[in-house]
Every structure is written in C-alpha cells, then in structure tokens.
C-alpha cells in the first residue's frame, strides 16, 4: 500500500510479442493470460490482501475489454496497468469508509423502527403545511423575528442587533408570533413553536 501513488507511466513495459500486436480476440485472451500473474503481483503491493489483488486484477481486465477493439494491442499493457492503479485506489477509498474506526456494530442490538406510517406522515405533512402558512400570515416584523430565532437560531440580542430594535421588542414580537401561531395551528407535532 505504500507505493499506491506509483503511476502507470512509471512502470517499465516489456515489448509486445508479434501475436499481441495483431489485436484480434485470440491475441487479447492470450495477452490477459500472460499478464494475469504479473498484474496480481503488481496489485498485491497496492491492496490490503491477496484476494483484493485478485479482485482488482479481474476488475481491471474486465474494464480493459472496452478498449480491445478501439486501441492497438501495443497500448493494452499500459492501459491495463493504468486501470489497475485506479481500481486499487478505488478499493482503498471504499475500504476507508467500510472499516472506519467509528464503526459501531449492531449485533445484539434492538433496532427500533422510527419510520412513520403513511397516515402519520400525511398528518405530519399537513401540520407542517398549516404551520408554514400560519408563519407566512404573521405580521412582517413578527415573522422576521420568529424566523431569525427558530430557523437561524439567533439569540435575542443578535436578533435585536440585526433588526435594529431592542431586546424587549424582540421578546414582544416573539410572544406575539407564538400567540398567533398557537391560535391558528394549535399544538403542533411538527415541532414546537418556541
């Protein structure tokens, strides 16, 4: 894994045989058979295990298939090793996320289904829609103060400074907004007003 940054351009490539330079399907198969062991050895230094190297070699050879008819046989080896380096890098990135130190096993844990039923979801969405409509119907100053507090999480002092009003006035607008919202929506399961 230490030499993952090697690029295919730095790899010494041996000249192709006459059979390989023909470019037909038979020579492609021969090329793959001849390259397999060297490719696995090359990938073994760039992967976590022998199995990962085998998997990367197989994937690399499969990806090379798309170039069999469009690239000359003389380019296959360089393409194969460039693809292999990329596949090894992809494997490494995937392994970083799969085996994170923060991974918590769920074996033996009870998992609670927090998914709402379709009826509960619809009720919740209707309540959110009513709340949104009620917020839009608030007087402009109350609406602005309420949104700065609830959506943006500003403190009363920050709201006062931003709106150019006193903290007492912010509190008055918040109180007015809460009274009007509770009157229009009632108790909201979609979230508390305060």
The DSSP code sequence of the chain is -TTTT--GGGS--PPPPHHHHH-SHHHHHHHHHHHHHHHHHHHHTTSSSHHHHHHHHHHHHHHHGGGTTTS-GGGHHHHHHHHHHHHHHHHHHHHHHHT-TT----TT------PPPHHHHHHHHHHHHHHHHHHHTS-HHHHHHHHHHHTS---HHHHHHHHTS-HHHHHHHHHHHHHHHHHHH-S-TT----
pLDDT of res. 152? 87
- Report if residue 127 sits inside a domain: no
Rg over alpha carbons for the chain, rounded to the nearest Å, is: 32
- Do 15 and 89 reside in the same domain of the chain? yes
Structural domain boundaries, residue 142: 133-185
- Do 28 and 72 reside in the same domain of the chain? yes
- Do 140 and 58 reside in the same domain of the chain? no
> What is the number of domains present in the chain?
2
Which domain-ending residue is among 98, 114, 146? 98
- Do 14 and 83 reside in the same domain of the chain? yes
The CATH number linked to 82 is 1.10.1740
- Report if residue 31 sits inside a domain: yes
Which domain-ending residue is among 43, 76, 98? 98
- Report if residue 57 sits inside a domain: yes
φ, ψ dihedrals at 2, nearest 5°: -70, -25
159 CB-near residues (< 8 Å, 6+ apart)? 145, 148, 149, 170
- Do 87 and 20 reside in the same domain of the chain? yes
Query: Per-residue confidence of the chain (194 residues) as pLDDT tens digits?
Result: 444 444 443 444 444 444 444 456 678 889 999 999 999 999 998 888 899 999 999 999 999 998 888 999 999 999 999 999 999 998 888 877 665 556 566 666 766 667 778 888 888 888 888 888 888 999 999 999 999 998 888 999 999 999 999 999 999 999 999 999 888 887 655 545 55
pLDDT of res. 58? 94
- Do 143 and 91 reside in the same domain of the chain? no
The CATH number linked to 167 is 1.10.10.10
- Report if residue 154 sits inside a domain: yes
pLDDT of res. 6? 44
pLDDT of res. 16? 43
- Report if residue 193 sits inside a domain: no
pLDDT of res. 2? 43
């Amino acid at each position: 894994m230490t030499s993952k940054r090697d690029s295919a351009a730095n790899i010494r490539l041996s000249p192709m045989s006459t059979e390989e330079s023909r470019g037909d399907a038979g020579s492609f198969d021969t090329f793959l058979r001849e390259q397999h062991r060297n490719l696995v050895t090359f990938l073994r230094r760039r992967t976590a295990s022998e199995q990962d190297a085998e998997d990367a070699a197989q994937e690399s050879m499969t990806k090379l298939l798309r170039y069999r008819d469009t690239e000359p046989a003389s380019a296959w080896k360089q393409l194969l090793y460039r693809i292999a380096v990329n596949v090894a890098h992809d494997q490494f990135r995937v392994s970083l996320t799969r085996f994170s130190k923060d991974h918590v096993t769920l074996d033996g844990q009870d998992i609670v289904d927090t998914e709402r039923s379709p009826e509960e979801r619809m009720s919740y969405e209707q309540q959110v829609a009513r709340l949104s409509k009620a917020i839009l119907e608030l007087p402009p100053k109350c609406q602005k103060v309420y949104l700065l507090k609830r959506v943006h999480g500003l403190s009363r002092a920050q709201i006062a400074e931003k709106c150019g009003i006193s903290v007492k006035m912010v509190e008055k607008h918040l109180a007015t907004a809460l009274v009007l919202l509770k009157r229009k929506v009632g108790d909201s399961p979609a979230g508390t007003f305060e």
